[in-house]
Amino acid sequence: MIMPVKTSRRTLGVTFDSSGTASIRLWAPRAKAVALLRGQDDTPELLHQQPYGYWQLTTDTLREGDVYRFQIDGKTTVPDPASLDQSGGVHGPSRARTVEGFNWTDSAWVNPKLQDYIFYEIHTGTFSPAGTFQGIQEKLPYLRALGITAIEIMPVAQFPGDRNWGYDGVFPFAVQASYGGAEGLQKLVDACHAHGIAVVLDVVYNHFGPEGNCLPALGQYFTEKYKTPWGNAINFDDAGCDAVRNYFVENALMWFRDFHIDALRLDAVHAIRDFSPKHILRAIREHVEQLMIETGRQYYLIVELDLNDTRFIDPLDRQGYGMDAQWVDEFHHALRVAAGQPATGYYSDFKGITHLAKSYRDAYVYDGMYSEHRQRSFGVKTNGHSGDRFVVFSQNHDQVGNRMLGERTSSLVSFEMLKLLAANTLVSPFLPLLFMGEEYAETNPFLYFVSHEDKALIEAVRKGRKAEFAAFHDEGEAPDPQASGTFQQSKLEWSRLQEPRHQTMFTFYQTLIAIRKRSAALRCTNRNQLTVTAQEETQTLRLDRWCDQEHALCLMNFSSVPQTMSLESDVRWRRVLDSADTEWGGPGSLAQTGDQVTLQPESFILYTR
């Protein structure tokens, strides 16, 4: 039987014992011979062949800090696919290092309950002027003051160059050197915990980037059985898959164990092809459960999913994959159509305010209904799953960055609508996620950018981007993804916080988050304690939520004219927040007459009793 994963330590790549002796383990089943090449010394040191395609060596010649490569069959040289340090780039050698010896100060840290997570999605390179983990760390007091309880960092696995969204990573175990490397990430996590903030890391287990991927030279890491948008699928169920599965299980465990990450967000798991009796996500879940027993810490697994299939979030004892939560794009799509986004492309399936109300009730809009866009019935019911199984948002990196010009919502809708969109996310029974800069209405775009070194690939990316938006040339040309200016345009402009309009929006978000935190009705994620009613003709929505002795009511007007809504005449409501109030830069609240409330256009009023 192939060697099982050890939850207590890494078994792949280079590890060091207490005396500094290196143990090296590589899976290269196609090789006839494997040798270690250390530093500038090209004298090969042979690894010993082990069962199931593994090669192993214990040596005193490789020390921490040394660069090294593997030589395959006396010809091809490759970096270590389990490298922890690719500071020489994706085409360079690996550097031997450890991640186990960091001096942690977070022994008292307790990961919050998932229902208390308020996510803040960050791209490390564009969040701060420095574009590093240190740059994020310097903003932690700001994030804490905003009310954020968890930052979600876009992928940090080593990618080509120093500009990338992170989804082109090719060394899953190596932390991007230009961000600060492994130690920089560990320092950030330790500092986050000191500020009472959890850390979610975005990881990519569905594909590898197109440049610098050394895995095909080593073994059956990919299979031709299935295709994905990025080419052949990663091999989770074909010949040789045991070692591939272990590779990714070990990666997930490393982030939790050695970097003290609190949750992983697994990118696009609908693109993972696995018909094994035990799906790879279930295997990861089982190993994480064992790690939690060993460490006494809580870890979460959150997935991006486009299948409306509760099997992914069903618990293990119900034969599910055991994921703790999933992103719900459909809430976003319905919300954006309600806010005036044209119902084209994948928005064409959504009927705005009617489907927004359905998503409040059911999480999935399509839960067995026929989808015109997909041309088939789609989805299942979410019965039995609480609201903290679903992450919702009014914008994120995909929904902004996949637009041709990368426009943030602040460039597409009015100031009043921005506040209404914020409320929809933060008063929902789901887990709210903010995209960096959203809280102060950042207007800089978030564009698609890369820094490939392969000239043919650079040109292919440029052509692909232009072709994708060929029908939109009346809006201008798609910015060049390779240009450094495209990346620079995407950085947050923190000086905007000094401007009254942006400061007002920040304070509005801060207040709304504080209200959610102190309100039992709004914190509650019991989806059975909720009613919602949408009026298509007036473009208004009423959301009632309750818990214990508290009742919260949110009246929303998505239309461009004032609308009157009714309150119960025998109930005394307390008005907590009116987004149209001049305090929030609005036109001013309208008078209430008895149980009749008139809302300004594109506004909401929150009541409690």
pLDDT one-digit tens code per residue, 552-589: 999 999 999 999 999 987 889 999 999 999 999 999 99
Report the pLDDT value the prediction gives residue 464, as an integer from 0 to 100: 87
Determine how many CB atoms are found less than 10 A away from the CB of residue 16: 17
pTM: 0.97
| Residue boundaries of the structural domains of the chain | 13-95, 117-454+479-514, 530-608
Residue 479 has pLDDT above 70, yes or no: yes
Mean pLDDT, residues 103-120 = 98
Mean pLDDT, residues 315-321 = 96
Residue 391 has pLDDT above 80, yes or no: yes
Residue 264 has pLDDT above 70, yes or no: yes
391 labeled part of a ligand binding site: no
266 labeled part of a ligand binding site: yes
64 labeled part of a ligand binding site: no
Residue 475 has pLDDT above 80, yes or no: no
Give me the count of residues in the chain: 609
Least-confidence region, from 33-47, 77-91, 276-290: 33-47
CATH class in words for 13-95: mainly beta
Domain spanning 530-608: CATH superfamily: Golgi alpha-mannosidase II (2.60.40.1180)
Report the pLDDT value the prediction gives residue 574, as an integer from 0 to 100: 94
Residue 283 amino acid letter: A
Residue 473 has pLDDT above 70, yes or no: no
Report the pLDDT value the prediction gives residue 311, as an integer from 0 to 100: 98
Classify each residue of 260-279 as buried b or exposed e, where b means 16 or more C-beta atoms within 10 Å of its C-beta: bbbbbbbbbbebbbbeeeeb
Tell me the per-residue pLDDT of 114-166, one tens digit each, with 9 for 90 and over: 999 999 999 999 999 999 999 999 999 999 999 999 999 999 999 999 999 99
In whole angstroms, give the CA distance from residue 245 to residue 206: 12
pLDDT grade, residue 593 (50/70/90)? confident
pLDDT grade, residue 354 (50/70/90)? very high
Are 423 and 378 in contact, with CB atoms under 8 Å apart?
A: no
Tokens of 288: 């994480």
446 labeled part of a ligand binding site: no
Number of H helices, E strands in the chain: 14, 31
Whether the domain at 117-454+479-514 and the domain at 530-608 fall into the same CATH topology: no
Catalytic, 416? Answer no
Residue 318 has pLDDT above 90, yes or no: yes
Catalytic, 459? Answer no
Tokens of 518: 């102190």
Provide the β-strand partners of residue 564.
598
Residue among 250, 267, 439, 578 flagged as catalytic? 267
324 labeled part of a ligand binding site: no
Mean pLDDT, residues 91-115 = 97
Tell me the per-residue pLDDT of 421-471, one tens digit each, with 9 for 90 and over: 999 999 999 999 999 999 999 999 999 999 999 999 999 999 888 888 876
In SS3 terms, 490-505 reads as: CCCCHHHHHCHHHHHH
Tokens of 371: 């989808």
341 labeled part of a ligand binding site: no
CATH class in words for 117-454+479-514: alpha beta
From 119, 257, 284, 287, select the one nearest 198 (Cα to Cα). Answer: 119
Residue 474 has pLDDT above 70, yes or no: no
200 labeled part of a ligand binding site: no
Backbone angles phi, psi at 263, to 5 degrees: -155, 150
Mean pLDDT over all residues of the chain? 96
474 labeled part of a ligand binding site: no
In whole angstroms, give the CA distance from residue 255 to residue 239: 27
Q: Which runs of E-coded beta strand occur in 312-386? A: 325-327, 369-371, 376-378
Residue 240 has pLDDT above 60, yes or no: yes
Residue among 304, 324, 438, 480 flagged as catalytic? 304
Mean pLDDT, residues 15-23 = 95
pLDDT grade, residue 472 (50/70/90)? low
In whole angstroms, give the CA distance from residue 88 to residue 157: 14
**Burial (CB count <10 Å: 0-12, 13-18, 19+), residue 467:** exposed
Nearest-10 crossing angle of helices 500-518, 415-426: 20
The fraction of the chain above a pLDDT of 90, given in percent, is 92
From 68, 74, 80, select the one nearest 34 (Cα to Cα). Answer: 74
